[in-house]
Amino acid sequence: MRQKSAADVQCKQSPGVIVPVVDLRRCEGKGDCLDVCPENVFEIRRIDDADYRELGVLNRFKLRVHGMKVAYTPNADACRSCGLCVTACPEHAIKLARAS
Q: Over 60: is that where the pLDDT of 86 sits?
A: yes
Q: How confident is the model at residue 10 (pLDDT cuts 50, 70, 90)?
A: low
Q: Over 80: is that where the pLDDT of 11 sits?
A: no
Q: Hey, how many other C-beta atoms are within 10 angstroms of the C-beta on 26?
A: 15
The correct answer on CATH 3.40.718.10 for the domain covering 13-98 is no
Q: Over 80: is that where the pLDDT of 13 sits?
A: no
17 or 55, greater pLDDT: 55
Report the pLDDT value the prediction gives residue 76, as an integer from 0 to 100. 94
**33-42 pLDDT tens trace:** 999 999 999 9
Mean pLDDT of the 32-57 span: 96
- What stretches of the chain show up as alpha helix (H) in DSSP? 6-10, 32-36, 49-53, 57-65, 84-88
